[in-house]
Structures are given as C-alpha cells and as structure tokens.
Amino acid sequence: MQRLLFPPLKALMGNPCVRLLVPRAAPRAQCGCSCGIRRPLRPGQYSTISEVALQSGRGTVTLPSKAAERVVGRWLLICSGTVAGAVILGGVTRLNHDMTLAEFKFIWYMEYSHRMWGRLVGLAYILPAAYFWRRGWLSRGMKGRVLALCGLVCFQGLLGWYMVKSGLEDKPDSHDIPRVSQYRLAAHLGSALVLYCSSLWTSLSLLLPQHKLPETRQLLWLRRFAHGTTGLVFLTALSGAFVAGLDAGLVYNSFPKMGESWIPEDLFTLSPILKNVFENPTMVQFDHRILGITSVTAITVLYFLSRRIPLPRRTKIAAATLLALAYTQVGLGISTLLMYVPTSLAATHQSGSLALLSVALWLMSELRRVPK
C-alpha cells in the first residue's frame, strides 16, 4: 500500500467541501533503478489539479472548493444587501427639512433603526468571516479581501458617529436648523458605497461564471468604457450627499433651466472659488445635474456600443437593464426637483442610485477578463 505523506486526516474527511488529494507515485524511471519500487513525488506535487489543496505536512486547507466559494459569494451578496438597507435608512433621516412633533417621532425611530441596523451589518460581516476563516473556506487572496471589508465596516461605524457629532456642535455664526456637516455626510456615504461595491463585486466574481469572450479591440474599448461609466455613476451618487447635506434640492425647483436661465448667476458667490463646489447650494445642485446628465449619456453610448459586439445573452440583459434604470433614475430626479423634494420620492431617487450602481457593477462583471 502506498504510504501517505500527510498525517492522519480523519477530521477533514467529514467536510463535504474538502476533497483530499493523495500524492501519486512517480513513474518508474524516476526511481533510478529497476527494482519496480515507485518513489513518491516531492511534497506539493499532486496527480491532478483540485479545487482543494493541502499544505504539506500540516493538513490545512489553503484553497476553497467550488461549494465553499458559492457559500462565501452568497454571504457577501447578503452583506451587500444589508449595506444597501443601511444607506436607504440613513438617507431617509437626512431628507426632512421641516417637521411636526409626530414627524419628529417618526424620524427619531428611523434614526434609531439606522443605528441598530448598522450594528447588524457589522455582525453580518464579522461573525461569518470568523467562521469561514476557521473552517478554511477562504483562500489567501480572499482572506485579505474579507479582512479589508471587516475593517471598512468598523471604519464606517466610526464615520457615522463622527458625522452625527457635527450636528450636535454649537455654531455661533449660524441661526439655521441643526444639520450635520456635508463633508462628513459625503465621507460616510462614500465609505458605505465603497463597502457595498466591494462586497457586491466580490460576490458576483464568485457566483457568476465568466464568459470566454474573444479579446478583440472592440471588447477592450467596451470594457474600459464600462469601467469609466461605473465610476461616473459612483461620483454622481456621492454628489447626492452634498445635495442632501445642504438642502440644495430646494434652491431651484425647475427643469431644464435653473430659474430663468441655463446657468444661474449665483454659482460663484463664495470665496475662494473652489469653496462653491462643496458649500454653495446652487453650485452643488448644478454639479449634480451635470453629473446626472453626463451619466445617462455615457450609459446610452455604452448600450449602443454593446449592440455592435456579439455578446452573451446575460451580458446583453445587463446592458439593457442599465439603460432602462438610467432613464428611470433621471425621471425620478426631475420629479423630485419639480415637486419640491417630497420625502418618499427623494428616498426612491436615492434607492435608484444604488440600483443603477449595482447593475453597472453587474455589467462590469459580465465583461471582466478571464484570467489565463
């Protein structure tokens, strides 16, 4: 009987996600003699390439099986959904510019729910991550990603506290209603979007099989254009934090013009000029309009470029869905503006930005390059 190079592995045999590899015997020519005895290969040499490998001499799992990858992918998909829920809840609490006592009670419960949901998001990341790590279902590269995601969750909680703290500080030079800093709000939303996109992208990479597309010049340009368009959608969503933080949606409630002109006169009322981009409500709304129009234009071009290349059916569905969502989102934004930012419609518009970003990531995943 062939002698194994590993210690007893009965503990691992019960794991359905682990398929053990036994080193094969070397060919007779490797022996250097004609005795007929087959010499085992060196540690680390195996007869086949498997989904699960064992570190020599230790019996620990170094790579996850396909079943484990699917479990991890579904876990990260659920985590991205919890982050999306936190973003939507947090957005609702920032949309009420005036309220009665009953509305204040409602918004208090929404804020409390947002905080409790944030704690749930942290547990949804950290506890399963520790379990998967202990079971050996995470590859070396995936361990780094999971550590980064868990660290980002903790950082996101600290940013939330830092943002809320800005709304409780005394501002002697301001007689306006209490509000959080738009800079801290944008940082809080931005980190949440990064966490959401990273989790969703990783889950799609694990769950969706890659298409073996021919690496033509047209496909290369389409892939690059999809990446740039996704970045533009992300930037447009992030600019919405400044719109919400400054109540910029209440400045000019007309479209396509802003008041009686295409370019309002009070775009550069603050000094220095760069300060207007982040603190002037008129400029903030103007920037958000330009970014939104540019995004929908880029998505339209991306769709027609995808029509000129033979792509799989699933990829075509992603491109068509992205186009439909883009125009729906523009319609929601214009309606929110013309109706003086009702909370329900504004919350739907914010949720639409997440949906648009999600489909853009889906299309990027469909077009990703197959590693050699």
Mean pLDDT (the chain) is: 82
Flag whether pLDDT at 60 surpasses 60. Answer: no
Q: How far are the Cα atoms of 28, 38, 67, 233 from residue 35, in angstroms, in the given order?
A: 9, 9, 43, 69
Rounded Cα distance, 173 and 159, in Å: 25
Do residues 264 and 258 touch, judged by C-beta distance below 8 A?
Answer: yes
Residue 281 phi, psi dihedral angles, 5° rounding: -55, -35
Mean pLDDT value across residues 262-267: 93
pLDDT of residue 29: 40
Residue at token pair 């509000």: 179
The share of the chain scoring above pLDDT 70, in percent, equals 77
Long-range contacts formed by 157-166: CB under 8 A, 24+ apart:
157/118, 157/119, 157/122, 159/184, 159/187, 159/188, 159/191, 160/115, 160/118, 160/188, 162/188, 163/187, 163/188
Do residues 55 and 106 touch, judged by C-beta distance below 8 A?
Answer: no
More confident position, 354 or 6: 354
Tokens of 121: 């998001």
Flag whether pLDDT at 145 surpasses 50. Answer: yes
Do residues 130 and 75 touch, judged by C-beta distance below 8 A?
Answer: no
DSSP 171: -
Flag whether pLDDT at 86 surpasses 50. Answer: yes
Rounded Cα distance, 130 and 147, in Å: 10
Flag whether pLDDT at 34 surpasses 90. Answer: no
More confident position, 32 or 332: 332
Flag whether pLDDT at 299 surpasses 90. Answer: yes
Do residues 30 and 39 touch, judged by C-beta distance below 8 A?
Answer: yes
Flag whether pLDDT at 158 surpasses 60. Answer: yes
pLDDT of residue 95: 61
pLDDT of residue 267: 93
Residue 372 CB: number of other CB atoms within 10 A? Answer: 3
Radius of gyration of the chain, Cα coordinates, nearest whole angstrom:
27
Flag whether pLDDT at 28 surpasses 60. Answer: no
pLDDT grade for 26, boundaries at 50, 70 and 90:
very low
DSSP 300: H
Flag whether pLDDT at 14 surpasses 70. Answer: no
Do residues 334 and 292 touch, judged by C-beta distance below 8 A?
Answer: no
The share of the chain scoring above pLDDT 90, in percent, equals 58
pLDDT of residue 63: 46
pLDDT of residue 109: 80
Residue type, 335: S
